[in-house]
Amino acid sequence: MPQEHRSTARVLDILEYLAASKGGGNTLTELSLALDAPKSSLFPILRTLLNRKYIQLDHQSNRYYIGISSYALGASFTVNQSAMDFILNVMESVVKNCEETCQLGVLDRGKVLYIRKVDSPQPIRMISHVGNRLPANGTAIGKALLSGLTNEDVRKLYADGLPRLTDHTIVDLDTLLDQLEAVRKNGIAWEREESTEQVCCWAVPLYRGGQIFASLSVSVPLFRCSDDKESLVLDSLFKAKKEIELIANTQNFNLESV
């Protein structure tokens, strides 16, 4: 586990402890004992949090409570959740339209972190799980995300080589870079049995403020990958892309926090 920045951790410890007090508040002495920190180091932090209204002080009881600025941060999380509810509705429409599994992912240090999924109603379908991480180079959703990086950034990201998931995974960096350039031009990424045998996948990058913040994909078992199915999937993805980007650019939300 990466080492925490001590001063930052102490700020968060204070806020988390006060939030857990369920309205009862805490004195400086109580905080010092609970957090095993000297009053002399806690007091300047508390003073700054007071000035920024992240905490408040009852001068009669000398007890500290969570302040209005902390509530404002919590409200921004609610906005994120509302945006995610909207995105899930869009994903459900994609699945209803093409009857295939739809996934939402973000880029996390060269891997795709899958943060939401809506399953296909078909008995034979792509099996995946929210919270999974897969090498981005071997997935359509990952290629869509990587297309937002420069070629130099991609080279640095995979300085030790491209991970292989199946016998079909692209492990040649120049080939991957050519594919990423095609994604930038055409707005669609694809893969065929590169992440999972007998599965093909298409994905679109999602933009907010000119930057890719996530990607949406549809996975299809190979025996259903007909030309008509591909056309239906692409139409569904591009429609979803337009709807999600509209809400993303009118609301300030961050999918990595939900």
The ranges assigned to domains in the chain are 6-66, 76-257
Give me the pLDDT at residue 257, please: 46
Give me the pLDDT at residue 7, please: 87
- CA angle in degrees (0–180, nearest 5) for 133-99-165: 30
User: Using an 8 Å Cβ cutoff, are 221 and 128 in contact?
Assistant: no
Number of helices (H), then strands (E), belonging to the chain: the values are 8, 8
Give me the pLDDT at residue 51, please: 92
User: Using an 8 Å Cβ cutoff, are 177 and 154 in contact?
Assistant: yes
Give me the pLDDT at residue 16, please: 87
Give me the pLDDT at residue 36, please: 92
Residue 237 and residue 229: Cα distance in Å, rounded? 12
Residue 256 identity (one-letter amino acid)? E
Say what the alpha-carbon torsion angle 49, 52, 56, 59 is, to the nearest 10 degrees: 90
In the numeric block, which tokens belong to residue 1?
């586990």
Name the nearest CA neighbour of 128 among 228, 225, 195.
Answer: 195
Residue 55 identity (one-letter amino acid)? I
Its sign, for the CA torsion 27, 28, 29, 35, is positive
Give me the pLDDT at residue 1, please: 40
Name the phi and psi angles at 214, rounded to 5.
-165, 180
Residue 251 and residue 128: Cα distance in Å, rounded? 29
For 61, the enclosing helix (H) or strand (E) is: none
User: Using an 8 Å Cβ cutoff, are 192 and 219 in contact?
Assistant: no
**Three-state secondary structure call for residue 41:** helix
In the numeric block, which tokens belong to residue 24?
């009862």
Give yes or no on whether 6-66 and 76-257 have one common fold.
no
Instruction: Compute mean pLDDT per 10 residues along the chain, 258 residues long, and list them.
Output: 76 89 84 93 94 91 90 66 82 94 91 89 67 89 97 94 92 96 96 92 94 95 92 96 86 56
What CATH architecture applies to the domain 76-257?
2-Layer Sandwich (3.30)
Q: Provide the whole-model pTM.
A: 0.66
Q: Give, in words, the CATH class of 6-66.
A: mainly alpha
